[in-house]
Chains A and B, each alone.
Chain A
Amino acid sequence: MVNHISNEKVIEVENLTKKFGDFTAVKGISFHVNKGEIFGFLGANGAGKTTAMKMLIGISNPSSGNANVAGFDVHTQSDEVKKSIGYMSQKFSMYDDLTVQENITFFGGIYGLSRKQIKKKTAELIEELQLGDITKSRVGSLPLGWKQKLAFSVSLLHEPKIVFLDEPTGGVDPITRRQFWELIYTEADKGTTIFVTTHYMDEAEYCDRVSIMVDGVIEALDTPKNLKKQFDVDSMNEVFLKLARNIE
């Protein structure tokens, strides 16, 4: 086991299922994630990733099965779940019409931080990300890569145990993508658990373990190294293509 990961389970999922009418989007998935782990949650478009993630962050009620996230039950304690996690998505992360500073203050307030804490966190963020002169710029005017790095930091303002990242690097340039992953590494090394989805298969290699979802089911779950061995291929891209093809 890699040294930043502990044995403590911070996400435990058992037979988690979600039905929409006759359609079953998530078909009884079970897995766990350890504290400090970088867990890659992969799958084709429409495989059920987003639906599963929505249940784990407490905004969608499972049809059946259980999930415990950061020590709380997603059925009965969804508010506690929301307070103990961070969430960032590619589609919505921050308010374009507010400045960098205003966004930090706003989200700090939402997460229940005191003014004093917000002030301290803002100073830390400006230092860490070397924001300097852009703190007064509107978020909408920043390049996508900057927005995403900032959104990641904002999702960590309340020091959550787990952070959920939904395609954080989509469309971002190769260098910024890698800088983003260096931020993820730093955070994981501090003990924060990272739950991340991506369509970049080189990024799957940066995860401690990877699950691949096909048609609502987790078809494979292991370290990138073991998955490549299991499917007898050289890259995660080939693992992914092989899995999706076998299903067709």
Chain B
Amino acid sequence: MNAERRIWGQLRDDPAGLAGLVVVGLFLLVAMAVWLGLIGQDWSAADGARWETPGPDHWFGTNILGQDIFERAIYSVRTAFEIGLVVAVSSTLLGALLGALAGWYSHSWVDGAILWLKGVLDSIPFYLFVAAVAFALQGKGWAMHVAMIATFWTTTGRLVRAEVMKLKTREFVLAARTIGLPDALILGRHVLPNTIHILLVQASIAFVAAIKTEVILSFLGLGVQDGVSWGLMLAESTQEVLAGHFSNFLAASLMLFALLMGFNLLADALQDAFDPKQASQ
């Protein structure tokens, strides 16, 4: 397709965006290797002494239990992608659906109800909401996913609503309505595909937000319940750094930073590539 070709062309001319794409790709490869059981499998084995310094046996040293920090940091790539993908995809789809409904039936009771729900969710302090969801779900591991999806969709929803309201008045949509196609078909076939630029950018922003939120939640004890994540490693490190052990902190924060930076650069590049007005300036 022409539009796709143009966007690839734009991305190719954007070194920062390209770098972001490469970084995200590398991390994705690592995550796949962990999924396939090739690397990072010994993240929970306590086969070292406590707080070993980096060396040939333990590249990044060990933590308080003698677990290998390199293995844990690598395994956490998989955790990050699991959380990021689940939250980004679900919240973006939910936002697309609710935003499209609100926009299509704008100024009706459907729109009013969705806007009200958005207003309510935006008015509850986020971490209190997550904590409450975590408790309502009795400490289930996916409580934080639910909480994030339930709140992250609102931005996507607002943007999609505005875009759908704009698309609704365009000729191709009016034509589809004139020949009597059902609303659901017009929305699914003709309207939502034209919001893909919003959805892709919002999904990458949600990915970043999910990973950052996981860190805070893990520190608060509401995050990853079994397994390991950069958030758990950082939570562990809050005590260690005061005693001068920086391995956990450095390993987790640097990998976290690299992945987030990659995604942010990619999101920016996508935004520029999709925005023809900005691209021409």
A binds B: no
Q: What is the interface of chain A, defined by CB distance below 8 A to chain B? A: none
